[in-house]
Amino acid sequence: MTKLIRGGTVVSSTGASPADVLVDGEKIVAVLEPGSAIAESAASSADVIDATGKYVIPGGVDVHTHMEIDSAGTTSSDTFETGTTAAAWGGTTTIVDFATQSHGERVREALDARFAAASGNCAIDYGFHMILGDVTDEALKEMDSLVAEGISSFKLFMAYPGVLLSDDRQILQAMQKCSDNGGIVMMHAENGIAIDLLAEQAAARGDTGPKNHGLVRRAELESEATHRAIKLAKVGECPLYIVHLSASEALEEVARARNGGSNVFAETCPQYLYLTLEDHLGAPGFEGAKYVCSTPLRSKHEHHAADLWTGLRANDLSVVSTDHCPFCFKDQKELGLDDFRLIPNGIGGVEHRMDLLYQGVVSGEISLARWVELCATTPARMFGLYPQKGTIQPGADADIVLYDPAATWTISVDNHHMNMDYSAYEGIEITGKVDTVMSRGEVIVSGDAFRGRAGHGKYLERGLSQYLV
Ligand code: DUC
Ligand code: ZN
Ligand code: ZN
């Protein structure tokens, strides 16, 4: 069955123009000039979707999510089904989630468990990165097979000593391996040894509330780790992608490396653009627990968010992902009522990334084309999914969002679809709204109706990053 999306403005990473999009089965087959003879003749036989007044954009690609992941004695509250359904509601049609090799665990076992959890349960297409929590000789060997099987990115941690932390030797080994096999290293860049000391000292002083999570995870300790990761990647001759960058000082490190010609990339997340240490993490009582994530929210007095917007414009930040890692306030965040170190780390936001970033278009921080580039095209290219994903062009998957720039609404726990009992973005007024979402040619969201299904989403075997020189 063919579908013709007619009358909209197609937005790509390079610009926007009126065009009709012809879809056949799961694929985009043509992008047509409106009113052209081909468009008119297609209209007579196709199922026509009216996109008048709407932007027609590639489905969002969120390359950093954690569905149903075990952490801090609990499990993130979105399953693959609920999380990918919420993503779809928000105009995201691809996620790249993580499999985690814990200390002492075999890489393959960890990965198989994630395949089993996701398979048949996703409403949109999905891939995996591999988290290496134990860089052994065996794990290093396994990295080659994983790249060959479409898992071409490996997350390492400089934080969480004794749990996930890799030391500099292990980091360098993994980087050398990626240098050989074409993989890319994703880095959680925070000095966890120093952070744990400061956290212990805070707890010993009786400073046990949520805000202390942000106070001990100092910006210097993010920038120091970012700097070290960059230098190690230089020695290891490996491309590097810094995840969830939040501090201006860390951004400076990335910018310096990029100006020097290194293959260093970074993502930030909406929470660092919208939420702050004082107003959110430092909210009265235990309220701040809702905003505990790592890296932490930064001080509103230090202009981090303004610097991040600049980085997004200047391409020192290449991608916006969510680091979607939701926990309910009740019973989950509450695990850390007496000690901020026990609060599960994470914020849910997979549903709101496209809208929150679109506010940057509304306010003039970024262009319409840059919005699409940051949220769809570059993440697809960075992680080997392009041009199957992240673009509207013939041959690409028909993952298409009709976005209504005129709609206004307010984010709330009462209207979101994530499996969370609060919204970190409660009360934020949004201009623009997802109207229709198509995944591989199937309409899965239409206005206020979800028409998708768990199991529609397919596993994506990814190629190598297309950002490497
Ligand atoms: N890092 C992440 O990427 N997600 C959740 C917690 C963390 O430390
Ligand atoms: Zn991390
Ligand atoms: Zn994460």
pLDDT of residue 467: 86
Does 157 reside within a domain? yes
pLDDT of residue 468: 73
Cα(68) to ligand 3 centroid in Å equals 12
Does 26 reside within a domain? no
Biggest CA pair distance of the chain: 75
Does 454 reside within a domain? no
Q: Distance between CA 452 and CA 444 in Å, rounded?
A: 4
Does 76 reside within a domain? yes
Pocket test for ligand 1, best of 268, 294, 321 (most atoms within 8 A of CB): 294
Consecutive 10-residue averages of pLDDT for the chain (469 residues): 96 98 98 92 94 99 98 97 99 98 96 98 98 98 97 98 97 98 98 98 98 98 98 98 98 98 98 98 98 98 97 98 98 98 98 98 98 98 98 98 98 98 98 98 98 98 88
Residue of the nearest CA to atom 5 in ligand 1? 346
Contacts of 391 (CB under 8 A, 6+ apart): 12, 13, 58, 376, 377, 380
**DSSP H/E element including 307:** helix 304-314
pLDDT in tens, 300-345: 999 999 999 999 999 999 999 999 999 999 999 999 999 999 999 9
Does 450 reside within a domain? no
pLDDT in tens, 8-30: 999 999 999 999 999 999 999 99
Query: How many domains is the chain partitioned into structurally?
Result: 1
- 219-236 and 168-181 helices, crossing angle to 10°: 50
Structural domain range at position 108: 60-382
Query: Could you list which residues have their CB under 5 Å from ion ligand 2?
Result: 188
Does 186 reside within a domain? yes
pLDDT of residue 105: 96
Residue of the nearest CA to atom 8 in ligand 1? 294
Residue of the nearest CA to atom 1 in ligand 1? 294
Can you read off the two tokens belonging to residue 41? 């003749």
Strands, E assignment, 123-239:
125-132, 153-157, 184-188
365 in Cβ contact with 320 (< 8 Å): no
Cα(26) to ligand 3 centroid in Å equals 30
Q: Which atom of ligand 1 is nearest to the CA of 325?
A: 5
Cα(186) to ligand 2 centroid in Å equals 9
The CATH number of whichever domain residue 254 belongs to comes to: 3.20.20.140
Q: What is the pTM of this model?
A: 0.98
- What count of other Cβ atoms lies within 10 Å of the Cβ of residue 297? 29
Instruction: Identify the nearest ligand to the CA of 293 by its number.
Output: 1
Does 325 reside within a domain? yes
Q: Which atom of ligand 1 is nearest to the CA of 346?
A: 5
Can you read off the two tokens belonging to residue 12? 């790509």
Question: Ligand 1 — pocket residues by CB below 6 A?
Answer: 66, 188, 243-244, 294, 323, 325, 345-346
Does 25 reside within a domain? no
Cα(267) to ligand 3 centroid in Å equals 11
